[in-house]
Amino acid sequence: MSDASPAVVLITGGEGDLAVAVRAELEAQGWVVHAPSHGEMDVTDKAQVQRVISALPRLDLLVHNAGITRDRRMVNMSEEEFSEVLEVNLKGAFLCTQAALKLMVKQRAGHIVNIGSFSALSGPIGQTNYAAAKAGLIGLTQSTAAEYGARGVRANCVLPGFLDTKMTKHLLADEAHRARILSAHTLGRLNTVADAARFIAFLHSLENVSGQVFQLDSRVSRWT
C-alpha cells in the first residue's frame, strides 16, 4: 500500500454502538470504513462473509464486533440458545478471520481485533453460552497470532469493559443492578464506547503487538 492510499477496515456488527464509535474514530483518522449490518453480512453465513470480504480491494484491519447474548441459567438454557450464541460470537469470528486472512496473507500485513468480554475470565452466572464463546475467542485470537505472525498478520483480543450500549441498557436501567455493576470496578465507573474505540485505534498503531488480551476496565481478576 502506498503512503497515499487510505487504510481499509471492516467492522462486523456494524449497527452496534461500539461499531459506530469505532467507525467514527477511524473515519476521523482518514480510514475507509466498511461496517455492514447483520442484514448486509450475516457473520454465521460463510458465503456472505466471503462475498463481502473478497470484494474489498485490501483489508488492513478487521474488527470482529458482532455478538449476541441469550442469558439464562444453565438448566433452563435451550440447546438453541447455547448454539446461537456460539455461532455468532465464536464461529462468526472464525469465518471472518478465515476470509480476512486470504487478503492479509497476500498483503503480508493485516490486523485482526476480536471484541471479547470480561465474562470469558469470570464465567458469570446465567452466561454459560456467552462466557464459553468469549473464552473460545481468546484461544482463536492467540492461535491466529501464532499461525500467521510470520506472514505479517497480527491478532489481538480487546475486552472493552461493561459499556452502556443497547445490549446492556436493560441492566443499567435498574439502579440497584447498576450499583452492583459499578461496585465490581475499583474505580467505580465505566468506559464509554468512545474510550474503547480510541484504544482499538491506538492498538492498531502498535505494530509489534500481537497475540495479546487487553482488559480495559478496572475489574481485577486473579492470575490463572
Residue 2 has pLDDT above 90, yes or no: no
Distance, CA of 198 to chain centre: 14
What domains sit in the chain, N to C, each tagged with a CATH number?
Answer: 8-165+192-215 (3.40.50.720)
Contact between 144 and 95 under an 8 Å Cβ cutoff? The reply is: no
130 catalytic, yes or no? yes
CB 82 within 8 A of CB 97: no
Cell of 83: 448454539
d(CA 208, CA 204): 10
Strand partners, 214: 158
Residues in the chain: 224
pLDDT-based confidence at residue 183 (cuts at 50, 70, 90): confident
Question: Which residue in 130, 148, 162, 199 is the catalytic one?
Answer: 130
Q: Give the up-direction half-sphere exposure of residue 42: CA atoms within 13 A in the CB hemisphere.
A: 7
More confident residue, 187 or 61: 61
Predicted TM-score (pTM) of this structure: 0.90
Can you tell me the distance from the alpha carbon of 193 to that of 25, in angstroms, rounded to the nearest whole number? 10
Assess whether pLDDT exceeds 60 at residue 3.
no
Determine which of 28-37, 47-56, 121-130, 166-175 has the lowest per-residue pLDDT on average.
166-175
The three cell numbers locating residue 10: 471492516
Q: pLDDT tens digits for 132-148?
A: 999 999 999 999 999 99
In this model, does residue 114 exceed pLDDT 90?
yes
Residues 6+ apart with CB under 8 A from 70: 77, 81, 82, 84, 85, 129, 130
Query: Which amino acid is present at 68?
Result: I
